[in-house]
Chain A
Amino acid sequence: MKAYLFRRTFFDSFIFAYLVMVLLVVVASPSPEEMLLLERNSILFTVAMFIGAVISSGLNKASNEKLHTLGESLFQPQYKKATKNEVSWYKTMAGWQLTVFLCVTFVVGIRVTKFSLLELLNEDGFAGAVRLFKGLFSPNFEILPKAVLNIIETIFMAFIATILAIPFAFVLSFFCARNIMKGPVAYAIYMSLRTLLNFTRAIEAIIWAIIFSVWVGIGPFAGMLALMIHSIASLAKQYSEMVETVSDGPIEGIQSTGATKLQTVWFAIVPQVILPYISFTVYRWDINVRMATIIGLVGGGGIGTMLIQYQGQAMWPEVGCIILVIAIVVWAMDQASAVIREALK
């Protein structure tokens, strides 16, 4: 109940403060230096949020449903959503709130991304793009042998990263499953592991690659380590969600024979999750091949590193050849993993 009030008020006041800030920029047209005053601007935003919160509470207290805000209609509990007066959207506060928010955001977005039809149709720029495409579509197959060797390196990078991630993810998955971690100590372990894994996953593999290329030097080893860290976090989450859906029957059955905790996990839970585990792992390898290419761009080795070298020298026919090789391998991996996963069902 309280969570709902908090969400509603926060949502409404955030939108209000955002609109106020946009209005301020338009009306006061601050200098670039003033835009950089993070501290002052944050205070302004917070003050606006307070005003928004007051307005939101006031409007939602009104008995007239038409005055209720967007936050209210979005976050109100199910029992309130169940009944509703039929009112046209333009006669309600929430409807106008949404319309103004979307229109303002669209206009601001166009300005911020410097969207410009002129640039898109600029003759010189267009000629450059045509030149690039010409290069890409007439690939230089002289570097094909090197590209093939490099993509093989990438595939193995992804493979080793996946294989090394499996044992860690397998063990972690049981400690991250709510239905196994019962009791206060177990819950504390569960929560801290979950938080750690979420945090690890929030850092993109490309950032890990940058970290590791400083640590162990540029090359496939750094890329492999980055992929492995990311795979452990992702697989552990997917695995543990699988563990949480197992049926309790076999667990009770095995427990009642006097089995130990380890035996219960091995005999009652593992048989229920093993196939989805393999399926997730094959898919993860597929994903890792694609990610390994991107990671190569920042020095993770393999085909990505080769790509960025030729791109830097604007050798478009060579780049075209590399892109072709990547496309074929990614397509083949995608097909193969789909067929394997289908067979495992």
Chain B
Amino acid sequence: MSNPILSVKNLVKTYPNGVQALKGVSFDVKQGEFLVVIGLSGSGKSTLLRCINRLHDPTSGEIFFEGSDIAQVQGEEVRSLRKKVGMIFQHFNLVPRHTVLSNVLMGSLGRVGSFKSIFGFFSPKDKTDAHKYLKLVGIADKEKIRVDQLSGGQQQRVAIARALAQGPSILLADEPVASLDPATCHTVMDYLKKVNKELGITIVCNLHFLSLVRQYATRVIALKGGKVVYEGSPQDITEEWFEKIYGQDAKEVHIN
């Protein structure tokens, strides 16, 4: 059995205001997996992803990424970690007033020197890569349009292309479809699936909808109150587990 690409051990995150978002979370992610994290709002899903690429600093615990513990690294080491970890956000987090192409090129900022990038000197390879990834997510014809002119689904696809331009080995997706309508939802999830299958990039994705989980995930973990309460195959989530994760009164919603 191959070593896991990402291995989280006993991760704890306490915010300065005293809120304990993660209370000892442990799990492994294998190369090429499409792992989905489910749980209620406030269960610690977002915090978990932000600890992995160190947008947040974990309080204690270990995060092994490609063999080395990155839970407490600082400065330059954080940057070299982030280069290999792409992230997709619920609200896309693109830079307004810039074009689609310019936003995708920003994915290569980690490789370009500060001053070169400020004057817009991106290498020809970065540019061809940007075009390649825009084609992959199906919006190559929109490269000259300002991102604030695009629909939500299109913006999220630009965000995927930007994350790919980093050349990541793992992609973190924090509720990538939560602010999209049901139809667009599937398009974006399909592109994530494509990235996972065709480029072999490992994906860790937070999701709300159980129907999407069954359709796309290869494995599922469920968080509740900052702890892992379920780990297994998406097909094995029974009614009983569903109630345990989402509470007694929850009803499953299907989107198609």
A-side interface residues toward B, CB under 8 Å?
Answer: 249-250, 252-260, 262-263, 266-268, 271-272, 274
Contacts and interface: CB of A to CB of B under 8 A. Distances in A.
A258 B110 contact: yes
A257 B82 contact: yes
Given A263-B109, A267-B106, A257 B96 contact: no
Given A250-B94, A271-B98, 12 more contacts: A249-B89, A250-B95, A253-B92, A254-B106, A254-B109, A257-B166, A258-B80, A258-B81, A259-B79, A259-B106, A262-B118, A266-B118
B168 to A, nearest CB: 9
Contact of A256 (B86, B94, B98, B114): B86
A207 to B, nearest CB: 38
Interface centre among B97, B109, B117 (most CB of A within 10 A): B109
A274 B97 CA distance: 10
B87 interface: yes
Contact of B55 (A250, A256, A267): A256
A255 B55 contact: yes
Contacts of B87: 252-253, 256
B7 interface: no
Chain B residues touching A, majority SS: mixed
B23 interface: no
Interface string B93-123: 1111110000000111110001001100000
Given A258-B79, A260-B79, A267 B95 contact: yes
Interface of B: 53, 55, 79-83, 85-87, 89, 91-98, 106-110, 114, 117-118, 159, 162-163, 166
A267 B97 contact: no
B56 to A, nearest CB: 10
B118 A250 contact: no
Given A253-B89, A257-B162, A272 B107 contact: no
A253 B114 contact: no
Given A255-B55, A263-B114, A266-B118, A271 B95 contact: yes
Contacts of B162: 253, 257
B63 to A, nearest CB: 15
Interface centre among A249, A256, A259, A271 (most CB of B within 10 A): A256
Given A256-B85, A256-B86, A267-B109, A272 B96 contact: yes
Nearest to B106: A267
Nearest to B78: A258
Contacts of B166: 257-258
